[in-house]
Amino acid sequence: MELIADIFLAAGAIGAGFYCFVLGRRLKRFNNLEKGVGGAVAVLSAQVDDLSKMLATAQTAASVSTKTLSNLTARAEQASQQLELQMASLHDIPEPVSQPEAALSSPVTLTPGEPIFTRRTIGTK
């Protein structure tokens, strides 16, 4: 009986050893950095690092763009206010008096030293 127990014990030990051998080989292939899951994890880790760097760069660019856009918007609002003020000041100019067509076609002569842009009525010098 002891002999049969020893044979079963040896067979169990040999079976466990063979199972550990097969399991060790599978584990090596699983953790292989070139083909196995270990390689996939390494590649994904590198991609995550690259994406985080690109995200930081994009956030920096977006903040710079936001500042530039807000500055341009402020300048546009100032220009709009100035244009509105100029348009409002145009309402103060009196309507031109209608003149006969002959008076409109006569050339206006400038005297030396006189500014080029002045208000004058047609027909007077």
Separation of CA 4 from chain center: 78
Query: CA angle at residue 115 from 112 to 121, to 5 degrees?
Result: 100
pLDDT in tens, 77-106: 999 999 999 888 887 777 766 655 555 566
Angle, CA of 110, 90 and 78, to the nearest 5°: 115
31 and 37 Cβ atoms separated by less than 8 Å? yes
pTM: predicted TM-score of the whole model, two decimal places: 0.43
Task: Say which residue, 54 or 116, is predicted with more confidence.
Answer: 54
pLDDT of residue 68: 96
How far apart, in whole angstroms, are the C-alpha atoms of residue 7 and residue 28?
Answer: 32
pLDDT digits (tens, 9 = 90+) for 40-83: 788 889 999 999 999 999 999 999 999 999 999 999 999 999 99
pLDDT at 100: 56
